[in-house]
Structure 1
Amino acid sequence: MMNKVKIVVAGPRGNMGKEAVKMVSETEHFSLVAVVDSKHEGMNLSEIEGFHGIDAPVYIDMQKCFEELDVDVLIDLTAPAFGRKHMEIAFANGVRPVVGTTGFTDSDISELRAIAEEKGLGAIIAPNFAIGAILMMKFSQLAAKYLPDVEIIEQHHDRKLDAPSGTAIKTAQLISEVRAEKAQGHPNETEELQGARGADFEGMRIHSVRLPGRVAHQEVIFGGEGQTLTIRHDSINRASFMPGVKLAVESALKIDTLVYGLEHIIE
């Protein structure tokens, strides 16, 4: 019988965290050993509204959690401000982090990768856990070889803190690997209202929409002579991210470096 993967979820009361707790609890070879929350220290998760029947102690202090429990993987779905700190605590305790927060710089990723390799631990940072979104990024990179004029429109709920989204930035980065930097639009264009043309990433324009009722949506629009191509992905609910989280946990156990983006573990 396979040993169960012992998992801690950070940020259990968030929209993504709730789905992750449910996924871990329902996956036969996973075991939810604790959650790390900003409050409810000492309580059991089952005592908190929305988690009836899910047995796991609640910690505020992540270091204390790792010291007291045997943990294989941390699933961190908190906020950009905490992502790096939580990864460093995980590494220091021999725990493999799977992180869904954004806001990591290139230097953050390089430094965290060095720590992961020094410790011999697998780690995954994923701007987006939806398998369809990963395919959208891969298809966009392929299309950009032939249609280099491209703009990205991403839409999210109005509680999202960062803009553009990590997915939009990651998409632009992947496209830039096959596309030479170029300015788009009329060379003498002006913005009558500042920001009308969106963010500029090597000449690509990225536009962010924030509205209630949205979850996570992105379209990548390519323009060519007499034609356009649109590649679009929609997450209708946050359950759409859970197969990717599960894949990331299983993959983190098999590697000894940090991988940024699920596209590197999806063939």
Structure 2
Amino acid sequence: MEEIKVAVSGANGRMGQEVCRTVLSEDNLKLIAAFDRHGEGEDIGKILGEEELNVFIEKLTEENLSSKNADVMVDFTTPMSAVDNIETALNCGVRPVVGTTGFTEEDVSHVKEIVDRQNLSAVIAPNFALGAVLMMKFAAEAAKYFSQAEIVETHHDKKIDAPSGTALKTAELIDKGRKEKPPEREDLMKLDGARGGVEKDVHIHSIRLTGPIAHQEVIFGSTGQTLTIKHDSFHRNSFMPGVVFAVNKVMETKGLVFGLENLLE
């Protein structure tokens, strides 16, 4: 396979470091740049606890990225900076693969406009764990037969956005898959938010705790029965096969792909 030159944005974060390790382990991927707001000037190899790579942490700017001749930039940062990071990559002719969540519909439309204008490709995925992608696909299928559904998602306490991008995407897919809307009801809540938030007529409950990584269950209900579809990520390496898959696929596609399920055959 032809070598793909990869830059990583958010390289000094927990997910970013995992991405760097993964890129280094893949025969057809080459880590050529590491961007972060923290650790500027440090060798990413030393940060990873490995030998020095002569790839140093830099601030992400168009000037710095353009000088690297990268093919793809993987971004795991924050919702506050990700759109700017994507725009920087596209302006440099670099294809973004983005695992940052918390995008609004306006953000996605803005990114799509730039991708189309630059005649490039980009992948934004709420979740790169292939099991989580399958969970969403199975939930969309189940929604044809169960109109009532609720989502419980649990993440580590450093995750900024709630609900998770995976939960919001799941609610969207459930809504598209439904043949009928769930019955309307009025709840007598003794505590605001006790039923969680509501997206596409799906109640979403977000839990943030020290300890967990990423977990979600979708609970469907019908007369006399429930159906639960659950996925658990116990380590950040669970997302890496999906990241590698997307990095390879983004070189072959055109336009913006939102959701890894749209790349699965």
TM-score bracket, normalised by the shorter chain, equals: over 0.9
What is the count of residue pairs matched by the alignment?
Answer: 263
Contact 1:33 1:57 in 2 (8 A): no
1:212 aligns with 2:192: no
1:151 alignment partner in structure 2: 150
1:200 alignment partner in structure 2: 198
Unaligned runs of 5+ in 2: none
Contact 2:154 2:206 in 1 (8 A): yes
After superposition, residues 58-207 of structure 1 pair within 5 angstroms as 58-179=57-178, 180-183=180-183, 187-207=185-205
**What is the percentage of aligned positions where both structures have the same residue?**
45
Select 2:239's aligned residue among 241, 248, 266.
241
Residue 82 of structure 1 aligns to a residue whose secondary structure is helix
Runs of 4+ in 1 over 4 A off after TM superposition: none
Unaligned runs of 5+ in 1: none
Alpha-carbon distance in structure 1 between the residues aligned to 2:32 and 2:52: 10
Task: Give the AA of the match of 1:255.
Answer: T
Task: Give the AA of the match of 1:167.
Answer: T
2:28 alignment partner in structure 1: 29
Residue 96 of structure 2 aligns to a residue whose secondary structure is strand
Alpha-carbon distance in structure 2 between the residues aligned to 1:87 and 1:188: 42
Q: TM-score, normalised by structure 2?
A: 0.95
2:42 alignment partner in structure 1: 43
Contact 1:182 1:202 in 2 (8 A): no
Task: Give the AA of the match of 2:28.
Answer: H
Q: 1:16-43, CA deviations, whole angstroms, 9 ceiling, x for partnerless residues?
A: 1111000000000000001001133333
Alpha-carbon distance in structure 2 between the residues aligned to 1:91 and 1:110: 14
Between 63-72 and 232-241, report the one with greater CA deviation.
63-72
Task: Give the AA of the match of 2:80.
Answer: A
Q: 1:216-238, CA deviations, whole angstroms, 9 ceiling, x for partnerless residues?
A: 00000000111110000000110
1:226 alignment partner in structure 2: 224
Give me the CA root mean square deviation: 1.4
Residue 24 of structure 1 aligns to a residue whose secondary structure is helix
Q: 1:186-222, CA deviations, whole angstroms, 9 ceiling, x for partnerless residues?
A: x342110110000011321000111111010000000
Give the C-alpha shift of residue 118 in structure 1: 2.0
Give the C-alpha shift of residue 240 in structure 1: 0.2
Give the C-alpha shift of residue 181 in structure 1: 4.1
Give the C-alpha shift of residue 108 in structure 1: 1.8
Alpha-carbon distance in structure 2 between the residues aligned to 1:216 and 1:43: 29
2:259 alignment partner in structure 1: 261
2:18 alignment partner in structure 1: 19
Residue 134 of structure 1 aligns to a residue whose secondary structure is helix
Give the C-alpha shift of residue 178 in structure 1: 2.0
Contact 1:46 1:53 in 2 (8 A): yes
Task: Give the AA of the match of 1:89.
Answer: T
Contact 1:183 1:202 in 2 (8 A): no
The structure-2 alpha-carbon separation of the partners of 1:115 and 1:188, relative to structure 1 and needing over 3 Å to count, comes to: closer
Alpha-carbon distance in structure 2 between the residues aligned to 1:257 and 1:130: 22
Contact 2:60 2:85 in 1 (8 A): no
The structure-2 alpha-carbon separation of the partners of 1:40 and 1:188, relative to structure 1 and needing over 3 Å to count, comes to: closer
Alpha-carbon distance in structure 2 between the residues aligned to 1:188 and 1:26: 54
